[in-house]
């Protein structure tokens, strides 16, 4: 089955959803950190790091496929600022 060509709107939708997921996961991490043993927040941080790596990989794929050259779609314009593990 052939892949459909990702349009700019597809890349922007994916980026927006990844940003929402990141924000929600950050919020959850903070919620876990206060009342529970540190191991739970540490595990959530690892998930955040995986999500950040996924965002970078998808961004690279967008560029490879000739998608929009807009670093703000996946948050790379921050230079890693605000991303876990940067």
d(CA 32, CA 38): 8
CA angle 75, 79, 81 (to 5 degrees): 80
pLDDT tens, 28-54? 999 999 899 999 999 999 999 999 999
Handedness of CA 63, 56, 54, 8 (dihedral sign): negative
pLDDT at residue 85 is higher than 70: no
Q: In angstroms, rounded to a whole number, what is the distance separating the alpha carbons of residues 45 and 25?
A: 8
Q: pLDDT grade, residue 1 (50/70/90)?
A: low
Of the candidates 2, 18, 85, the one whose C-alpha atom is nearest the C-alpha of residue 45 is 85
Please report, for the chain, the start and end positions of each structural domain, with discontinuous segments joined by +: 10-78
Paired tokens of 72: 């703000």
């Amino acid at each position: 089955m052939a892949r459909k060509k990702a349009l700019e709107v597809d890349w922007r939708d994916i980026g927006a959803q990844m940003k929402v997921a990141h924000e929600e996961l950050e919020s959850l991490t903070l919620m876990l950190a206060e009342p529970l043993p540190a191991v739970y927040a540490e595990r959530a941080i690892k998930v955040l790091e995986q999500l950040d790596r996924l965002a970078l990989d998808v961004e690279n794929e967008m560029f490879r496929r000739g998608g929009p050259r807009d670093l703000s779609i996946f948050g790379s314009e921050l230079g890693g600022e605000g991303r876990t593990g940067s």
